[in-house]
Amino acid sequence: MAQRYYTETHEWVALDGSVATVGITDFAQAQLGDVVFLELPRVGKLLEAGDTFGVVESVKAASDLYSPVAGTVLEVNETLNANPEHVNEDPYGNGWLIRVELNGDLSQGLLDEAGYKAFSEGQSH
């Protein structure tokens, strides 16, 4: 498993060569509760780091999704249309959201595992 990096808006990103897989964190899915729908971008969409790339709707709220990376959307997890619960059950596996062909390097602003753990623990109290 490639190393994951995190945003303060609770997305994760993992690199395989120049392809970044993006999802939301376990902390985020627990805070949102049951995911109902996702609005995800079209393949080919160009993203800057920090851009809104979609919306996750849960029983509790609708939340924007922010891209941790800059690049072109290569693939969208279509299985989530029928099985949005994958985001709750397996946020780092089957619940991935999009794959992006990176344009340049990973942003310097991302958190590592320890940094995100400290950040999210600070948010839950």
Q: Three-class SS of residue 52?
A: strand
Nearer to another protein, 64 or 112 (CB): 64
Nearer to another protein, 16 or 78 (CB): 78
Neighbouring residues of 105: CB distance < 8 A, sequence distance ≥ 6: none
Strand partners, 57: 37, 62
Among 14, 15, 36, 106, binds another protein (CB under 8 A): 36
Min dist CB 60 to another protein, Å, is 7
Considering the rule CB under 8 A, would residue 62 count as an interface residue with another protein? yes
Considering the rule CB under 8 A, would residue 55 count as an interface residue with another protein? yes
Neighbouring residues of 23: CB distance < 8 A, sequence distance ≥ 6: 11, 12, 87, 91, 92, 95, 96, 97
The interface region with another protein, picked from 11-19, 56-64, 68-76, 93-101 by CB under 8 A, is 56-64
User: Are the C-beta atoms of 33 and 24 separated by less than 8 Å?
Assistant: no
Considering the rule CB under 8 A, would residue 93 count as an interface residue with another protein? no
Nearer to another protein, 37 or 43 (CB): 37
